[in-house]
Structure 1
Amino acid sequence: MKGRALFVCNDATYFTAHRSHIAHRLLREGWDVHVAAGGDFSQLSSAFERHYLEVERRYFSFRNDLLLFLGIRSLLAETEPQIVHLITMKPIAAGAAALLTSSGRWAKLPRILVTFPGLGRLFDNRIWAYSIPRMIICRTLQVLFRNRNCHATFENSDDRDLFVRLKILEHRQSTVLSGAGVELADFRAARPQERAFRVLWASRLVRGKGLVEFVQAARMARASGDEIEFLMAGYADPGHTDNIPASEIDDLIRDGAVRYLGHVKDMPELLASVDALCLPSSYMEGLPRILIEAAAASLPLIASDVPGCREIVQDGLNGIILPDNSAESIYRAVKRLAQDRALATQMGSAALRKVYADGFDIGSIQDQMLEIYLGDR
């Protein structure tokens, strides 16, 4: 056994879908891998040593967050890992505090890695209620990153640059990766052309992802008599403060302007059946996985002008960056591609070239992560 690695994530389902391939790579490399998370463990591989944590994702709670801190601290003492990888904001904050108060084991940890899939609501200055938690977390991370063995990964350069400006860490202590890794070869372009133009919205059913505006754009298209099909696919996220309740989803789809597909497991098949992907998000995204998957399927990308989306969408080259998140802007972008299918095909080809050229594939991400774990960065 080369050593022991401990992953700490807020949600086991998220970890399984987006990060478990890195843990499996460590297993193959001879490491003993432990995964601690909240949520549903039914899909989490039994190849890992699994530890359940109670993680409150919706809001800050002194009691629940204290219990999370104590749980991680106890795990550090129990497992004595050589690598600690903290993923998503709550585990990062609680894990950093646990590491800083585990002084007896601090010197034994050769590598501490924190991964920010996106900064989310906590670093949104428009939400004043998060100002005090944000200040506390920033200070805790500043202290953590005084240790040379700490490294951070981000999914876009805007987030990394913000942390450098806030003096949380130094530039050399961070790496910007092209997402969490996608099996690009699973996706293909196989779209028939003798039908109405199809545009897809796919994400969690949370308000900040622009679903309401997407539906409004679909209603505009129908009122104008455009031959465009608007499709939406996704799943509820009750643990998220922005989750759209089922009753509101029913209202959005009742008039039939958008066809709701529910939670789709076979994304390669779905993406091969549409002509464009639209994500009008207002979130502080990391790097949305759906944009990478759509690019791998040779789809033109329509997205907001926000960090994360800008990492992959090149306006006018492989997609369209929206000037704002309004329904009118979404409608105009979709109609432009629907009226010029040659342009849509050209943009889709450029999107495919970008994801293969810029290291978005799962193998590239794994190789870079191993370098970070071993202190080669």
Structure 2
Amino acid sequence: MIQSRQMGGRNSERQENLIPEFEGPRYCGSGYRVLVICNDGAYFLRHRLLVVTHLTSIGVDVTVIAGGDPIPAERIQGWKYIHVPIERFRFDPLGDAALMIRTARTIHAFKPHAVHLVTLKPAIFSGFVSIVSRFLHGDPKQVLITLPGLGRMMSPKAPGQRRYPVASTLTLLAFRMLSRRDYVHFTFETRHDCEFWADRGIANARNSSLIDGAGVDPNLFYPLETPRCSRTTKVLFASRLLKSKGLSTFLKVAHDLSHRSDVEFVVAGVPDDHDPDAIPHRDLEQMTEIRFLGHVTDMPNLLRQCDIVCLPTRYGEGIPRILIEAAATGLASIASSHPGCREAVEDGVTGQILSATSDTEMRRELSDGIVEYLESPDLLKQHKQAAYRLFQSRQFDQAAVADRFTKLLGVPTAGDGARAEPFLEKQPHAQ
């Protein structure tokens, strides 16, 4: 596998190859067919495209079904695409039935060897269709279900947050049915999520694996050759513009510290005003305490212009990609004590983990953490360097992630490569 770049002696040109070549097993994907189903096209492009890109590069025939806004034609390269409206925020009988019908028709016409289902709704509805299709017609041979986090529905709720008792119960019943099939395999991003599903009789050592996030390209995300020198420390929030992602807390802290001239608060993210948890982008554009960038297409360059990434999230996610990108770029991070955040940030070493549970305490602790960095530039420098070393020491790079998913999808290989790491055999990382 290609090694990550070193801190010094690199040129700053962006590499055109998005998937580094592997030095491990060589895959023989010609004639192999994979169907990928994801609830949102924008999420697919940001978090799951790298695996599809690798699959097509080794000759696998890939079809993608995704909801959300249609994927632009110029982003579709080497794979087929079907757009299906998918309601992400609630059960929708007509829409969910349409997803099942489209899945059934596509499996019947495409006859995939493997189906990869990403996020809860495709896992439930397309998963049911997949096992029925296998029973009736023999395809698909394998079903891979990726749950990058618990999501809003399955996450333990804080006081005042909405609960979904009926939907949660139906989800557990559906997953128990899926987990009994020996050709169904689950992937998770954190040990916490593995244990959550294991406690409910779904995940076990046979049918589940841990994979460290969605992968980051070290040819794109890397530190500046010469460290940034500025009197202003730039603090970045880059994620979905949701209150549960911690954006509301971040905005309050930006207001609290707006009197300081040595710090600048930057917000980047795709506006999604259809999400009931979203902060409207028009409100963000009017705030003078922050610099709102909206959707950013060149995240590596933006990160290299910043010093600290903040993610005081309460959202039920896996390993937040922005924290891995921050580490790859050599930035310190301040994040909540979420299991996925603790996978990407070592408290007191590569950044700070916030122990607060209430919004008021989180606001105070985040503000104190930022001020500590402002008043201790040497500490910030140490944490930035340690963050990059952490990225290099873990299998966060996209080549490792693509390799693991390729194996789990059953793509033929000339040699016998190791499978992705079973979750019950994985040793916890030092905190």
Question: Counterparts of 2:116 and 2:37 in 1: how far apart (Å)?
Answer: 6
Residue in 2 that maps onto 1:13: 42
Give 1:246 shift: 3.2
3-state SS of 2:153 partner: coil
Identity of aligned residues (%): 33
Question: Counterparts of 2:85 and 2:340 in 1: how far apart (Å)?
Answer: 29
- The AA in structure 2 aligned to 1:83 is A
Tell whether the 8 Å contact from 1:154 to 1:175 is kept in structure 2 after alignment: yes
Residue in 1 that maps onto 2:372: 336
User: 1:17-166 maps to which residues of 2 (within 5 A)?
Assistant: 17-38=46-67, 39-42=69-72, 43-105=74-136, 107-126=138-157, 129-166=163-200
Change in 2 beyond 3 A, CA 1:275/1:103? closer
Residue in 2 that maps onto 1:206: 242
Q: Which runs of 5+ in 1 are unaligned?
A: none
Residue in 1 that maps onto 2:333: 301
Residue in 2 that maps onto 1:167: 201
Cα RMSD over matched residues?
1.9
Tell whether the 8 Å contact from 1:182 to 1:362 is kept in structure 2 after alignment: yes
Residue in 2 that maps onto 1:235: 270
Query: Which structure shows the bigger proportion of residues in helix conformation?
Result: 1
Residue in 2 that maps onto 1:179: 213
Residue in 1 that maps onto 2:11: none
- The AA in structure 1 aligned to 2:385 is S
Tell whether the 8 Å contact from 2:133 to 2:139 is kept in structure 1 after alignment: no
Residue in 1 that maps onto 2:424: none
Residue in 2 that maps onto 1:348: 384
Q: Which deviates further from its counterpart, 12-21 or 95-104?
A: 95-104
Question: Counterparts of 1:106 and 1:359 in 2: how far apart (Å)?
Answer: 38
Say whether residues 1:290 and 2:326 are aligned partners: no
Question: Counterparts of 2:46 and 2:258 in 1: how far apart (Å)?
Answer: 35
- The AA in structure 2 aligned to 1:32 is D
Question: Counterparts of 2:125 and 2:75 in 1: how far apart (Å)?
Answer: 22
Give 1:202 shift: 1.0
Tell whether the 8 Å contact from 1:284 to 1:307 is kept in structure 2 after alignment: no
User: 1:180-199 maps to which residues of 2 (within 5 A)?
Assistant: 180-190=214-224, 191-199=227-235
Give 1:113 shift: 0.3
Q: Which runs of 5+ in 2 are unaligned?
A: 1-29, 412-417, 420-431
Question: Counterparts of 2:84 and 2:406 in 1: how far apart (Å)?
Answer: 26
Give 1:280 shift: 0.7
Residue in 1 that maps onto 2:257: 221
Q: Which deviates further from its counterpart, 183-192 or 107-116?
A: 183-192
TM-score (norm 2): 0.82
Question: Counterparts of 1:310 and 1:178 in 2: how far apart (Å)?
Answer: 12
Tell whether the 8 Å contact from 1:34 to 1:48 is kept in structure 2 after alignment: yes
TM-score (norm 1): 0.93
Residue in 1 that maps onto 2:401: 365
Change in 2 beyond 3 A, CA 1:113/1:103? closer
3-state SS of 2:257 partner: helix
- The AA in structure 2 aligned to 1:245 is P
Question: Counterparts of 1:166 and 1:98 in 2: how far apart (Å)?
Answer: 23
Q: RCO higher in 1 or 2 (8 Å CA, sep ≥ 6)? A: 2
Tell whether the 8 Å contact from 2:134 to 2:141 is kept in structure 1 after alignment: no
3-state SS of 2:164 partner: helix
Deviations 1:12-51 (A, max 9, x none): 2221222122112112222211111123121541421222
Question: Counterparts of 2:363 and 2:290 in 1: how far apart (Å)?
Answer: 13
Question: Counterparts of 2:85 and 2:391 in 1: how far apart (Å)?
Answer: 36
Give 1:189 shift: 2.6
Question: Counterparts of 2:280 and 2:169 in 1: how far apart (Å)?
Answer: 31
Question: Counterparts of 1:164 and 1:109 in 2: how far apart (Å)?
Answer: 25
Give 1:354 shift: 1.2
* Superposition misfits of 4+ residues, deviation over 3 angstroms: 103-108
Question: Counterparts of 1:174 and 1:51 in 2: how far apart (Å)?
Answer: 28
